[in-house]
Amino acid sequence: MESQQPTDAQEGQTQRPSPMTAVERRILGVLMEKARTTPDSYPLTLNALVTGCNQKTAREPVMQLSEDQVDEALVELRQRGIVAEVHGAGRVPKYRHMGYDYFGVKGEEAAVITELLLRGPQTLGDLRARASRLCHSPIPDLNALQAILGKLKEKELVVELTPPGRGQLITHNLYPEEELAVVRVHAVSGATVGESSGPRSGRSEVIETLQHELAELRQEVDQLRQRIETLEQSQKQS
């Protein structure tokens, strides 16, 4: 796990960080994720970063970004001090994030922000499960998540899209104003466009898992039937 720590000034920050484009958010989310999940291969090369951005799992929406698109967004992120280019023994430059310092977060707060950057709006249940994979230990329950979100709200890093209660939707507060307005409308209406498709994506994952398990059960039943038929034929022959 990366041990980047916020400064004292950033610990008390309440001003909302500047909005980011969808590509910039994806890049930062990937860098923050990979720093925790694959520290041996972090920082990331441009090629590895593009692959992470276009990953088909744990991403919402799935993107098809080119190296030029990622490289262009990296220039902006570097100018804002959110991403840094590093050079090691190899010739290929690599990139690391400064997200913890930029947001003034660490630990579980950083994990929650990372998941929101990668997937956008999510229910509290989905967010707790997904952010837990980036923590030293799982977030125990929704009360613990609410405490984490409370700190992030104070820093204006997250917003509530729907009223508290079952199925409440939470997202990050890094959208440009016009985009956030659209995300709010889709969250209230239940529509899913772009990043606002997080909850439906979660349901789709559950359905896919159940379908896979059902297919395995059917295969096992077919195998049992074949064994029974084989045994019956053996008994008849004897």
**Structural domains of the chain sorted by starting position, each given as residue range(s) with its CATH number in brackets:** 8-102 (1.10.10.10), 119-200 (1.10.10.10)
Q: Is the dihedral of CA 142, 204, 134, 156 positive or negative?
A: negative
Please state, in angstroms and rounded to a whole number, the distance separating the CA atoms of residues 83 and 86.
Answer: 10
pLDDT in tens, 191-220: 544 443 344 444 455 455 555 556 656 666
pLDDT given for residue 234 in this prediction? 72
Please check whether residue 103 is in contact with residue 82, taking contact to mean a CB–CB distance below 8 angstroms.
no
With beta carbons less than 8 A apart as the criterion, state whether 110 and 10 touch. no
Query: 102 is written with which tokens?
Result: 């930029």
Angle ∠(226,231,235) on CA atoms, nearest 5: 150
Per the CB < 8 A criterion, the answer to whether 168 and 160 are in contact is: yes
Helix and strand totals (H; E) in the chain: 10, 6
Q: CA 113 from chain center: how many Å?
A: 8
**Mean pLDDT, the chain, as a whole number?**
84
| pTM for this model (two decimals) | 0.74
